[in-house]
Amino acid sequence: MGVNIQVEHVNAWYGTTHTLKDVSLKIPANKATALIGPSGCGKSTFVRCLNRMHETTPGARVEGTIQMGDVDIYKAASPVEIRRRVGMVFQRPNPFPTMSIYDNVASGLRLNGFRKRSVLDEVVERSLKQAALWNEVKDDLRKKSGSSLSGGQQQRLCIARALAVDPEVLLMDEPASALDPVSTSKIEDLIFDLKRDYTIVIVTHNMQQAARVAEQTGFFLSGVMVEFDATEKIFTNPSDKRTEDYITGRFG
């Protein structure tokens, strides 16, 4: 099951650049939440704050509180604990190239010392099925390396890898922007299925994609969250002039 995420007054910096300015919002459990906005608006920074990846960049800094379920992720837990509970899929597919497909999916569990073979087999199969990749790779799980797959398959492998540790939240940073339309629609179908079990936050450049998969949408502009509302409302009747300008293609 997913958890609610309560974000309050979050500010983030890269060195002296203030990339996220006083963002507050409530991300509901078991729904997909899309974040849209022009390049450099802070939406990627925002999702990277949700699993404390932002602070891994030298010189980066975060302030404010993020409550995930009943845990304050910046006060009550270490980044490693948080990242075990929050899966992340990146813009560029990044499977481990020297590992087989099986090892890629099992990597998160093995990392945490999980070695039971029969359970690993089961988890790998379940995760690959959840990521709609099982049928394409089941015959060479151990023979092929993660990097031998096509781009779309690699991205689904990364989704399977993130799901294998059974996270409560799944963050997706433009998961389909490097993929062709067929792979993109597969990923979108996947998000649709996955949100039954996880809280999904997806960053996207593609507004149609946001409209298709997400219940809520947030619009970011130069580090500020301009508007956050039901997706339908954002795309048909936004309350802020800047949101309207963006979705009608007047800038960005």
Partner 1 sequence: MPLAALAQNEARTAEAAEAPVVPDTTGVRAFLMSRGSGSVADSVFGVLMLVGALSLFVIVALIVWMLVHNSQLSIHAFGMRFFRSTNWDPVNGDFGALPFIYGTIVSSLLALVIAVPLSLAVAIFVLEICPIPLRGAISFLTELLAAIPSIVYGLWAVFVLVPLVRDKFGPILEKLLGWTGLFVEPNFGVGVFTAALILAVMIFPVISSISRDVMRAVPNHQREAALALGSTRWEMIRMGVLRNARIGIIGAIILGLGRALGETMAVTMVIGNHPDISKNLFNPAYTLSSVIANEFSEATGDLYLSALIEIGLALFLVTIVVNAVARLLVWVVTRGNTAKAV
Residue 152 lies near partner 1 (rule: CB under 8 A): no
Residue 151 lies near partner 1 (rule: CB under 8 A): no
Residue 249 lies near partner 1 (rule: CB under 8 A): yes
Q: Of 90 and 219, which has the nearer Cβ to partner 1?
A: 90
Min dist CB 55 to partner 1, Å, is 10
Residue 223, both tokens: 């580090």
Residue 165 lies near partner 1 (rule: CB under 8 A): yes
Residue 56 lies near partner 1 (rule: CB under 8 A): yes
111-130: which residues touch partner 1 (CB under 8 A)?
111-112
Residue 237 lies near partner 1 (rule: CB under 8 A): no
Instruction: Out of 19, 44, 45, 51, point to the residue binding partner 1 (CB under 8 A).
Output: 51
Q: What are phi and psi of 229, to 5 degrees?
A: -160, 180
Residue 26 lies near partner 1 (rule: CB under 8 A): no
Contacts within 8 Å (CB) and 24+ apart, 105-109: 105/157, 105/160, 105/161, 105/164, 106/164, 107/161, 107/164, 108/84, 108/161, 108/162, 108/164, 108/165, 109/164, 109/165
Residue 99 lies near partner 1 (rule: CB under 8 A): yes
Structural contact between residues 36 and 43, judged by C-beta atoms closer than 8 angstroms: yes
- Classify 234 as helix, strand or coil: helix
* CA dihedral for 227, 233, 235, 240, sign (positive or negative): negative
Which residues of this protein are in contact with partner 1, per CB under 8 A? Answer: 51, 53, 56, 58, 80-85, 87-88, 90, 92, 94-99, 107-108, 111-112, 145, 147-148, 158, 161-162, 165, 247-249
